[in-house]
């Protein structure tokens, strides 16, 4: 069990895990991981504590002999397009992403724009906790220089789309006062898209709305789309990688539905393999199968999605929270690219977003998180899933044991038992074509987990 890293990077409070003292050591650790040579690109978000973490991290990197390119306050995907096209082999984003304003984190990326995988993270933790990092003498210290990269970001995104298919469309953008404020709208405008923006200025306290875009906090976005007769709306997280969409009628969708649209389009365009996380709705599998593609399951989190995409040469990957990864772009989410590619799909299909969404069957999903200590998680997963399998032994179609245990029944419904990788909770997901059955399954799953916990 990793002690620093969760499903995506290292995250915490500036007074605890992300203290300046620890962040200097994180920099020294990364320097040692890179054999105390080379250059690292560092960008950060607009949270007050981000600059403290960034400066401490850079101090550690330089003390370890690493040169640094400081690209300033930018969306995380902007950092990745830059590192992909430049000489540095590693990039770091200091960001709280979608989390509460008091949280800050560090995301570590490879040259190919994927996040560090488990083996690299485990090596990082070994160096950090055993204090095996190295400092270099005064005449070998790293240097730091600044670089402006937003023009590179815009150029790389626009090069990936056909502007003739998006020109003249109308989009409402809601960056949520995150670091994509102004930038997202300007990229769309440069593609000749008409833009109306709300919450479009950076506010480190996110007083416009929660930095985590969700169906329940994007109501204003949906209303603006309908009032303006826009083609769609997009709500973005704090650092510009997640995107949830509103259709022209004002309906806001979770990432499963729009992920299904992207996935089916990817298969139609020749990318036959699609990677989905274990907790993704079956609607994506339906969409991929309808287009003649193949679904490959991965663990939860962008590092696992990217690794699985590379391993299987998949063109597209999805995380149901609103992250969409294309192998021809970066191995990470990018709200700007996702918005433009959704507009391209509307043009190719000759349909509205609501019409595309209605072409998929309705799946009902229920989720619950139950308090569970670290020492109990493995036992709970094994015993609760075994009890469920005994109860439904004649109805089971498939069992997937990637990042939890997912049991799919013959009628297409299913349940996932999964311990959280970042919190002291155990998660249960249930899904069915029938709302009543989804509720029955989540209630049963919850009862089974609690029964195991009581027996400890």
CA distance 63 to 267: 47
For residue 446, count other CB atoms closer than 10 A to its CB: 18
Report the DSSP pairing between strands 414-419 and 67-73.
Answer: unpaired
Sequence-distant (≥ 6) Cβ neighbours of residue 138 within 8 angstroms = none
CA distance 273 to 284: 12
Tell me which H or E stretch contains 73.
Answer: strand 67-73
CB 305 within 8 A of CB 277: yes
Q: Which tokens belong to 410?
A: 């013959």
CA distance 115 to 75: 15
Strands (DSSP E) found in 119-203: 144-146, 170-174, 194-197
What's the Cα-to-Cα distance from 425 to each of 100, 380, 428, 453, rounded to whole Å? 18, 11, 10, 12
What's the Cα-to-Cα distance from 453 to each of 7, 423, 448, rounded to whole Å? 24, 16, 9
Annotated catalytic residue, options 32, 59, 97, 420: 97
CB 144 within 8 A of CB 42: no
DSSP 152: H
Residue 97: active-site member: yes
Known catalytic residues are 97
């Amino acid at each position: 069990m990793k002690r620093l890293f969760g499903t995506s990077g290292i995250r915490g409070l500036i007074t605890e895990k992300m203290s300046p003292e620890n962040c200097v050591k994180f920099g020294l650790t990364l320097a040692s991981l890179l054999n105390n040579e080379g250059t690292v690109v560092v960008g950060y978000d607009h949270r007050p504590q981000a600059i403290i973490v960034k400066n401490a991290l850079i101090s550690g990197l330089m003390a370890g002999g690493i040169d640094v390119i400081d690209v300033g306050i930018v969306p995380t995907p902007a950092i990745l397009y830059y590192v992909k096209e430049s000489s540095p082999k590693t990039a770091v984003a200091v960001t709280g992403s979608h989390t509460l304003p008091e949280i800050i984190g560090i995301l570590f990326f490879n040259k190919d724009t994927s996040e560090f995988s488990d083996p690299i993270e485990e090596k990082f933790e070994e160096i950090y906790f055993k204090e095996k990092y190295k400092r270099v003498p005064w005449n070998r210290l790293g240097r730091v220089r600044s670089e402006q990269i937003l023009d590179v970001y815009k150029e790389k995104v626009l090069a990936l789309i056909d502007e003739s298919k998006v020109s003249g469309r109308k989009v409402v953008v809601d960056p949520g006062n995150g670091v994509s404020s102004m930038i997202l709208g300007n990229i769309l405008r440069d593609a000749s898209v008409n833009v109306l923006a709300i919450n479009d200025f950076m506010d480190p306290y996110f007083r416009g709305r929660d930095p985590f875009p969700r169906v329940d906090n994007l109501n204003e976005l949906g209303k603006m789309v309908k009032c303006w007769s826009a083609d769609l709306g997009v709500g973005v997280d704090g650092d510009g990688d997640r995107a949830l969409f509103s259709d022209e009628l004002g309906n806001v969708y979770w990432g499963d539905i729009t992920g299904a649209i992207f996935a089916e389009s990817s298969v139609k365009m020749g990318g036959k393999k699609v990677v989905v996380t274990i907790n993704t709705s079956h609607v994506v599998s339906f969409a991929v199968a309808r287009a003649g593609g193949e679904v490959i399951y991965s663990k939860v989190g962008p590092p696992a999605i990217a690794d699985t995409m590379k391993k299987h040469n998949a063109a597209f990957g999805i995380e149901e929270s609103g992250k969409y990864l294309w192998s021809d772009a970066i191995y990470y989410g990018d709200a700007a690219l996702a918005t433009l590619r959704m507009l391209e799909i509307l043009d190719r299909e000759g349909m509205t977003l609501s019409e595309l969404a209605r072409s998929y069957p309705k799946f009902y999903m229920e989720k619950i998180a139950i308090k569970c200590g670290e020492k109990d998680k493995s036992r709970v997963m094994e015993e609760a899933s075994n009890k469920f399998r005994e109860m439904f032994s004649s109805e089971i179609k498939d069992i997937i044991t990637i990042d939890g245990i997912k049991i799919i029944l013959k009628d297409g419904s299913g349940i996932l038992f999964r311990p959280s990788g970042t919190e002291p909770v155990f998660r249960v997901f249930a899904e069915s074509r029938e709302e009543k059955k989804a509720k029955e399954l989540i209630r049963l799953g919850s009862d089974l987990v609690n029964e195991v916990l009581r027996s400890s």
